[in-house]
Amino acid sequence: MSSNQCINWQGNLACIQQDGLVIKSRHTIDGNHVFGPDSDYTTLAVSGLSLLSEESEINTVTVSDNIDKLVLQACGYLVDEDGEWKINCANDSASISISKGVEMDWEVPGEETDRERYDLIKNAWLQEMNAVSQGAFVSEQAYRSGAASRMNFSSQQLGDIRIWPPREMIGDQRPVDAPPLGQSGIIESWTKLSAGGAPSEFSLRAPILGGIGTVFVKMNDGPRGVFLIADDETSEPEIGKVVSFGLRRIYAQDGLIRYGLKALIS
């Protein structure tokens, strides 16, 4: 990729410049970039870093407080106070600069989004932070321990077989750690759940979104998985279509936002 190339990347707008990269949400209200329904500074940062890492080596990063450091670490980035790369979040815009030096900016028009819908989603996320599970939920410990797999496809290997999500087998079925899976696969099945059919964790946002979409994917490396479709995906799912992946907010509970991978339909 040549410098100053600006592209649509994982549903965001990204521009690689000489000293780094600027990445913005594609959604705007009155010209100001605002987050999509499943996005925030953390998802933008991971999206930007994944693009930047195609051109540059990312060793250590320094981040501001509104980025979830554990998520970045789960995605394979080393967070350090004096990191080589600085991730700066714009104060009042869904925009991030990742650079080795000064903060960068980039003017780019986005897609105007409906303000009322945006406010509803934003408020739903705030309410969800106070949600308390009744049980049978993913505890913070379970969420953290599976984070590298959930956010970065960390996998295992047993003989010729790649395994994901990780399994905890015994004896000669015990797999060894393996590199992350490639982030591409084929849709083998899909569904869209109405608001009434979605799990209670999604009950605040599903009615606003008109339901939630899920795909059953066979990864190019072999394993299969179930993934939420990006909430702002514009393409319709179809068996045989190729998907790639990005980071998204999944749901919030007990004051903690859970992140995971979302399917982006090519």
Which residues contact other proteins (rule: CB under 8 A)? 133-138, 142, 146, 150, 165, 188-194, 196-203, 212, 214, 216, 223-228, 239, 250-251, 258, 260
Residue 102 or residue 242: which is nearer to other proteins going by CB?
A: 242
Please identify, using beta-carbon distances, which residue of 101 and 199 lies nearer to other proteins.
Answer: 199
Cβ atoms within 10 A of the Cβ of 11, count? 22
Give the sign of the dihedral formed by CA 137, CA 72, CA 36, CA 233.
Answer: negative
CB of 43 to other proteins, least distance (A): 16
Of 8 and 134, nearer to other proteins (C-beta) is 134
Q: Tell me the two tokens of residue 149.
A: 């797999």
Specify the residue, 13 or 138, whose C-beta has the smaller distance to other proteins: 138
Q: State which residue, 91 or 134, has the beta carbon closest to other proteins.
A: 134
Least distance between other proteins and beta carbon 159 (Å): 16
Bond preceding residue 165 cis, omega within 30 of 0: yes
- Of 173, 187, 182, the closest CA to residue 155 belongs to 182
Shortest Cβ 251–other proteins spacing (Å) = 8
Residue 110: name the closest of 42, 243, 14 by CA: 14
Report the nearest approach of other proteins to the CB of residue 230 (Å): 12
Rounded to the nearest whole angstrom, what is the least distance from the CB of residue 144 to other proteins in the complex? 12
How far apart are alpha carbons 78 and 139 in whole angstroms? Answer: 24
**243 beta partners:** 185, 265
Nearer to other proteins, 125 or 202 (CB): 202
Minimum separation from the CB atom of position 69 to other proteins (A) = 21
Eight-class DSSP state of 13: E
Task: Count CB atoms within 10 A of the CB of residue 122.
Answer: 12
Share in percent of the chain as helix, strand, coil (round to 5): 20, 35, 40
